[in-house]
């Protein structure tokens, strides 16, 4: 009976690059900051939709969330270039990057309608919620990959274990 091999996210060379670059730390700091901003903004958006209060705060919080998203996306592209030699759509993070493009498109659309003032506040908040749903899906994808990376043993360890089992 053949066991399936777990997906390998990083080659030993990529793992070394990941561990050596400062962009890994930048991502490690920005991700929880962005999530905290998201939670505060989500609360403000939902509260505004429910009560009609603090709508200006809710609308502005989505702008702040979007700016933090841009920061993490730009630095994430740099991280991906350092580790995988591609700014986006590296094999290990292809689907995460695809969903990230939807997240960026919805957040950017929000900025556009907010700036133009062509939609009502309620419509803007519903667009923000749509963007936040895609962000939640994307965040879950990245958390899954982070967990996979933590569980993945360095390649040389797998080779040593295989050699010991074969002997």
Q: Is 114 a residue whose pLDDT tops 70?
A: yes
Per-residue confidence (pLDDT) for residue 45, from 0 to 100: 98
Q: Is 4 a residue whose pLDDT tops 80?
A: no
Diameter over CA atoms, the chain: 71
Using pLDDT thresholds of 50, 70 and 90, give the confidence band for residue 15: confident
Per-residue confidence (pLDDT) for residue 5, from 0 to 100: 52
Per residue in 61-101, pLDDT tens? 999 999 999 999 999 999 999 999 999 999 988 999 999 99
Single pTM value for the model: 0.81
- What burial class does residue 79 get, using C-beta atoms within 10 Å of its C-beta: 0-12 exposed, 13-18 middle, 19+ buried? buried
Task: Give the domain ranges of the chain.
Answer: 12-157
Q: Three-state SS for 52? A: coil
Q: Cβ(79)–Cβ(27) under 8 Å?
A: yes
Q: Is 164 a residue whose pLDDT tops 90?
A: no
Q: Cβ(30)–Cβ(112) under 8 Å?
A: no
Using pLDDT thresholds of 50, 70 and 90, give the confidence band for residue 148: confident
Per-residue confidence (pLDDT) for residue 76, from 0 to 100: 94
Using pLDDT thresholds of 50, 70 and 90, give the confidence band for residue 150: confident
Per-residue confidence (pLDDT) for residue 162, from 0 to 100: 38
């Amino acid at each position: 009976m053949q066991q399936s091999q777990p997906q390998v996210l990083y080659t030993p060379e990529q793992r070394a690059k990941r561990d050596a670059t400062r962009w890994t730390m930048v991502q490690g700091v920005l991700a929880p900051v962005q999530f905290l901003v998201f939670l505060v903004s989500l609360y403000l958006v939902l509260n505004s939709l429910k009560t009609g209060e603090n709508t200006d705060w809710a609308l502005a919080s989505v702008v702040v969330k979007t700016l933090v998203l841009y920061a993490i996306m730009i630095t994430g592209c740099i991280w991906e270039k350092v580790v995988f030699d591609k700014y986006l759509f590296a094999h290990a993070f292809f689907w995460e990057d695809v969903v990230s493009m939807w997240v960026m498109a919805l957040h950017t659309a929000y900025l556009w309608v907010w700036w133009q003032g062509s939609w009502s506040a309620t419509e803007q908040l519903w667009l923000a919620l749509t963007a936040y749903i895609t962000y939640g899906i994307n965040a879950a994808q990245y958390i899954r990959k982070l967990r996979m990376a933590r569980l993945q043993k360095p390649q040389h360890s797998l080779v040593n274990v295989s050699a010991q089992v074969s002997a």
